[in-house]
């Protein structure tokens, strides 16, 4: 019974997601904020897991997330996915790029 309720809730999320995605792509900040909020813990876990111990001494996960959210806001119209899962994976890829860019071994940090 519990599994059935979870599956039904997931179906409802999936049916809402395309509308949210469309609205977010159209520039409706409330829709984008909802998508980011729904997946916040996933993004926080991804940031924590991908920041190595050494980089954590220099960069806070919250700073990388903030930078990622700014990048998402400025490029949401280019997102081509069709589901909330696609959106979450896209955001994590942006997050990974920002972490790579923050690394002292990144080409952007070389003189």
- Calculate mean pLDDT across residues 10-27: 72
Residues 93-105 have pLDDT tens digits of: 999 999 999 887 6
pLDDT at position 5 over 60:
no
pLDDT at position 28 over 90:
yes
Structure tokens at 25: 């792509």
- Calculate mean pLDDT across residues 22-26: 94
Share the mean pLDDT of the chain.
83
pLDDT of residue 16: 53
Residue listed under structure tokens 């792509």: 25
For Cα atoms 89, 90, 96, give the angle at the middle one, nearest 5 degrees.
85
pLDDT at position 83 over 90:
yes
How many Cβ atoms from other residues are within 10 Å of residue 70's Cβ?
A: 12
Q: What is the separation of C-alpha 93 from the centre of its chain, rounded to a whole number of angstroms? A: 8
């Amino acid at each position: 019974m519990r599994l059935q309720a979870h599956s039904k809730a997931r179906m409802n999320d999936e049916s809402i997601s395309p509308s949210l995605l469309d609205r977010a792509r159209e520039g409706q900040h409330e829709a984008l904020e909802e998508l980011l909020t729904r997946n916040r813990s996933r993004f926080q876990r991804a940031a924590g897991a991908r920041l190595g111990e050494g980089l954590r001494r220099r960069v806070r996960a919250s700073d990388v997330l903030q930078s990622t959210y700014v990048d998402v806001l400025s490029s949401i119209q280019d997102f081509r996915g069709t589901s909330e899962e696609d959106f979450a994976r896209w955001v994590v890829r942006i997050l990974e790029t920002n972490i790579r860019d923050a690394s002292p071994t990144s080409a952007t940090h070389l003189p």
